[in-house]
């Protein structure tokens, strides 16, 4: 708890320290969010991030009244933006990083592209969102789907890869 106490006086906290503290200590939502903010994650209001929660760099912007459930992994090499009133189920992966298919470049190059979730988006349990994807307002992604294309507003997508199922 001494480390957490010392972090209260710091203007910023390194991501590994913040990630370790929020995942290993029993902290209130307010204290967890304060640590996340000091490591680069921005909040636009009251939101809940349930532990364990894993992220790399803190390039994450979370809107008002967002709920992020347990076990989520955000590979935030590029920006991740989450709109107001969004729900993210357990074990969701938002990955802004990928590698080229060419075997010569695969181990030396990282491709990054931002992920944007609109307002009132619901990602079911185990969803994977790949780099460069934008999910429109009020859309739902069914559990265990893999999203590799942009999703328009007010639709339900499901499957691996996720495809259009119906309008909402």
Catalytic residues, by residue number, are: 99
> Computed over its alpha carbons, how large is the radius of gyration of the chain?
16
Long-range contacts for 153-157 (Cβ within 8 Å, ≥24 apart)? 153/118
Upstream peptide bond of 146 is cis (omega within 30 degrees of 0): no
Those residues whose C-beta lies under 8 Å from the C-beta of residue 26, and which sit 6 or more positions away, are none
Distance between CA atoms of residues 59 and 45, nearest Å? 17
Three-class DSSP category at 43: strand
- Tokens matching residue 60: 């994450």
The Cα–Cα gap between 148 and 125 comes to 17
Residue 118's nearest CA partner among 142, 146, 152 is 152
């Amino acid at each position: 708890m001494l480390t957490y106490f010392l972090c209260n006086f710091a203007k910023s906290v390194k991501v590994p320290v913040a990630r370790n503290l929020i995942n290993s200590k029993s902290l209130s939502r307010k204290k967890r969010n304060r640590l996340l903010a000091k490591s680069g994650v921005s909040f636009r209001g009251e939101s809940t991030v349930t532990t364990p929660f894993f992220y790399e760099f803190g390039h994450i912007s979370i809107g008002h009244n967002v709920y992020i459930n347990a076990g989520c992994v955000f590979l935030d090499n590029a920006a991740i933006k989450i709109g107001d009133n969004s729900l993210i189920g357990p074990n969701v992966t938002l990955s802004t990083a990928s590698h080229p298919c060419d075997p010569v470049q695969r181990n030396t190059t990282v491709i990054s592209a931002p992920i944007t979730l609109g307002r009132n988006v619901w990602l079911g349990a185990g969803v994977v969102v790949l780099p460069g994807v934008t999910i429109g307002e009020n859309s739902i992604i069914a559990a265990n789907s893999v999203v590799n294309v942009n999703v328009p507003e007010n639709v339900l997508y499901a499957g691996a890869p996720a495809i259009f199922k119906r309008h909402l």
